[in-house]
Amino acid sequence: MEREIIALLLEQEVISEDMVDKLKNVDKDKLLDSLKEFALKNTEQIKYEDIRRGLKTNYVGQNIYCFPKVFSTNTLAKFLASKGAEDGTAVIAEVQTKARGRSGKKWESPKGGIWLSLVLRPNLPPSKASLITLATGVAVAKTLISLGVDAKIKWPNDVLVKGKKISGILTEASATLNEIDYIIVGVGIDINFKVKELDPELHDTVTTLNEELGKSVNENDIISLFLKEFEDIYDNYKSGNVEDILGQWRILSDTIGKYVEIRHPLGKVNYGYAIGINKEGCLIIEEADGQIEKMISGECRTLSGR
Ligand code: BTN
């Protein structure tokens, strides 16, 4: 009976929030199996078999759910996590209809991009959660560099090519006082479409891999590469190898050594030279009067090189 309900609901092209709501009380194993079955059949470009063919990981992406259209892979991944999805499970969509960016912004997700969320269960205290965002930035940047572009990371987690944003990361965690229950790391990478397809206000600040290389690169191959890069750094994260992550981040950083403006959610603004990053992922800046300040979050804008 439950399988029939799932099958019926999954016939719909769009996995809506309403649908997820209806599935809340369905048995966990049946739900995960049925969703995976559905995911296997329905996508056009992002193909489970093609990702698997190039996949060299031990556990990240060994469980993959690829959907043609989802409102937000992060929201769906959260739901799957609440149903017991394992560490390293990947949720991927060809198109997202209500994707979320940082600071409550919307995120455009047309066909041709990589829109992917990972369910992570690192068994660490909540204080360690923010470092995974920096680690993910490193994995994205290294993946793009291996494809031939000069990718850099702007604090905290935008990946840029020649100063234009090509990728963004949205991390969401669920935790008790002492332990992370799960982290959802959502990654958006602009691959095989033109910037002109996006909202005009993004035309001057965003780029795509296709624009940078002047050719298309198969998204499935890039996903396999990214999952391997991610697993390598995620293993370091889980074993507490913070310095390795920060060391890689510093090398790839487009922020350290620059004069920056940090705009905080409640309106405060700091200006200073970015001189470092600490193990919580905070940016350390030196202000004009020599004062050293620790930036926990905020929108970073680079004003000049040193
Ligand atoms: C940012 O604002 O820079 C973060 C953008 C994160 C977008 C990705 S796409 C996959 C995942 N699903 C979402 O709804 N958001 C993230």
Give residue-wise pLDDT tens across range 197-225: 999 999 999 999 999 999 999 999 999 99
Residues 283, 292: contact at Cβ < 8 Å? no
Phi-psi region of 5 (alpha: psi -120 to 50; beta: other; left: phi over 0): alpha
pLDDT class for 196, splitting at 50, 70, 90? very high
Report the predicted TM-score, pTM, of the whole model to 2 decimal places. 0.92
**CA–CA separation, 252 vs 305, rounded Å?**
15
Tell me what pLDDT residue 243 has.
94
Report the percent of the chain where pLDDT is more than 70: 93
- If one compares 13 and 214, the residue with the highest pLDDT of the two is 214
Residues 155, 253: contact at Cβ < 8 Å? yes
Taking the centre of ligand 1 as the mean of its atom positions, its distance from the CA of residue 169, in whole angstroms, is 6
The strand ranges marked E within the chain are 64-70, 89-96, 114-120, 151-154, 158-161, 164-175, 180-189, 258-263, 269-277, 283-286, 292-295, 299-305
pLDDT class for 262, splitting at 50, 70, 90? very high
Which among 69, 107, 160 is the best mutation to test ligand 1's pocket, defined by most ligand atoms within 8 Å of the CB? Answer: 107
- Looking only at Cα atoms, what is the longest distance across the chain? 69
Tell me what pLDDT residue 104 has.
85
Q: Which residues, judged by CB distance below 6 Å to any ligand atom, belong to the binding site of ligand 1?
A: 72-74, 96, 99-102, 105, 107, 109, 115-117, 158, 168-170, 186-188
pLDDT exceeds cutoff 90 at 35: no
Tell me what pLDDT residue 79 has.
85
